Amino acid sequence: MNPMISSDTFGHVFAWAPLVLGVAIYAIVWFAKRAEVGGVGVPIGQTYACAGCGRRSVREHMLPQTHEGAVSYFCSKCAGAH
């Protein structure tokens, strides 16, 4: 006795398999992502990077310099050099 799958059953299995696997993957990702804490990793107070050395500080401690219509912020060490 040789067990065989009928062609209709074989066709139904391979017709529904991509949909079932897609929904299962989507559900797994949704359950994994819903427990994550939202928000972007941005600091509470906005900071600016020095255009010279890259040091970050609040805007009040940076010195703006305008050139050709653009504004660059420099720290106190780099402001004298530019």
Tell me the pLDDT tens digit for each residue of 21-52. 999 999 999 998 887 766 655 556 678 888 88
- From residue 5, alpha-carbon distances to 10, 21, 38 in Å are 6, 21, 49
**Position 15 confidence tier, pLDDT thresholds 50, 70, 90:** very high
pLDDT at 38: 64
pLDDT at 49: 87
41, two tokens? 């990793």
Residue 57 burial (CB < 10 Å; 0-12/13-18/19+)? middle
pLDDT at 1: 58
Tell me the pLDDT tens digit for each residue of 69-78. 888 888 888 8
- From residue 52, alpha-carbon distances to 26, 30, 58, 75 in Å are 46, 43, 15, 8
Where would I find the H helices in 2-75?
7-34
